[in-house]
Structure 1
Amino acid sequence: MRCASSRASEYEVRIGELSGRLSEQLSSLRAVDSLVHDALTSIQRQTLRANRARSVDVPHIRSELDRSLRSLQSLAHTLPTVQTQIGDIRHVYDSGREKAQTLVADLEWLNTDFPARWRTILFTSRAPVSWRWKAMSRAIFVLVLVLACVVACVALRGAYRAHRQRLVWGERLMS
């Protein structure tokens, strides 16, 4: 009997240990079951969303894509025309800008006072006048300069002669 009672107490200890492990395993199983249930619910929600997107959003996206492709094709047909028009506009704009710059330069030239214009024509090559006008102006300038030099030489000779002959200036002028 002693042997049976020791075995019974041993079995009771084992049953207690098994009961503890069983309750621990049962709580772990409940936690895992709860997690699996949450995951299943989440998967079902995601499946519903995916099915809705497939049935509603995908056809909408396809129709938008088709519309965009048609727009791109029409733009591809009109792009060469637009490019030539842009080229024409650029050409007209550039020619207008050049014309405006020319007009501004002409206005600046016309607003320049006469002596400055005359100096520019005579002494520079950037004057906006024809080569004939430049040549004629320079020839007139050389002629006037030569005449001025001749007159100055005659006047200096007369002054030298008057000084050498001790002629009086003022009341009696030399003749």
Structure 2
Amino acid sequence: MPSTRLQLSDELDATWSQHNWNADYPAHVSTSRLEAVLKRASKQAVQYEYQMKDIESRLSENLSNFRAIDSLLQEAFTGLQRNSRRAERALQNQVPHITTELDESMEALTTLAETLPTIKTQVADIQVMYDSGRAKAQALVSDLTWLNTEFYERWRSIIFTSKSPISWRWKVFMRFLFAISFVLCASLCWVALSGAYRAHRHRLVWGEKLMS
């Protein structure tokens, strides 16, 4: 742009110097040359105007972008300041409170670590006592159930099963008595059946003659 302006001014000066070399004579300026120079100057002015408008639009666009970026930066800066104030407030108020709670928790954990073996021993003793009490309660319930059972059921359970809550000596004794009783009963039944068979075979009369 400056070089074009210098070129136009040089051409105008040359044209003026050619036609005004003597001040005593009237100036005769070539209008065609001046018109050409003016047309060229008007074209350059139009180009300059277009370029100025383009630059102006770019500047306005860049200015709007700059404003948007500046607004975003302002918002980000405001958010950073707000977060910084919150962090400072937390550092001043909450961190000491958290530190105090951590110290108290550490003291409580230390106390628990010291008392944990004793508590564990006590819990083991309580577990042993509980198991013993439960076993005694189960035995008592079993004894009461056995005592409330009828004689026939107890007798059958002792002889034919192994679930009766008595000692093995009593089981052996009761089974021995049952075996003897069974043998005696079987012998008596055999004798009775044999006598009946002989009487039937010899056609004996039942009644008084049978006894004789």
The alignment's TM-score, normalised by the length of structure 1, stands at 0.87
Q: CA offsets per residue over residues 135-166 of structure 1, 9 Å max, x none? A: 32223223322322332233234323433443
| Offset, 1:73 | 0.9
Consecutive unaligned residues in structure 2, runs of 5 or more = 1-36
Amino acid at match of 1:82: I
Larger radius of gyration: 2
Tell me the SS of whatever aligns to 2:211: coil
Match of 1:24 in 2: 61
Matches within 5 A, 1:33-44: 33-44=70-81
The alignment's TM-score, normalised by the length of structure 2, stands at 0.73
| Offset, 1:171 | 4.8
Query: Does 2:162 align with 1:130?
Result: no
Q: What fraction of aligned residue pairs are identical, expressed as a percent?
A: 55
Q: Distance in 2 between matches of 1:4 and 1:158?
A: 166
Distance 1:7 1:93, change over 3 A: same
Q: Distance in 2 between matches of 1:144 and 1:9?
A: 144
Match of 1:9 in 2: 46
| Offset, 1:15 | 1.8
| Offset, 1:172 | 4.2
Q: Distance in 1 between matches of 2:60 and 2:102?
A: 59
| Offset, 1:59 | 0.9
Consecutive unaligned residues in structure 1, runs of 5 or more = none
Q: Distance in 1 between matches of 2:50 and 2:186?
A: 145
Aligned length: 175
Match of 1:174 in 2: 211
Q: Distance in 1 between matches of 2:45 and 2:194?
A: 163
Paired residue for 1:61, among 98, 116, 122? 98
Are the aligned partners of 1:167 and 1:174 in contact in 2 as well (CA < 8 Å)? no
Q: CA offsets per residue over residues 49-105 of structure 1, 9 Å max, x none? A: 111111111111111111111111111111111111111111111112211221222
Q: Distance in 2 between matches of 1:119 and 1:110?
A: 14
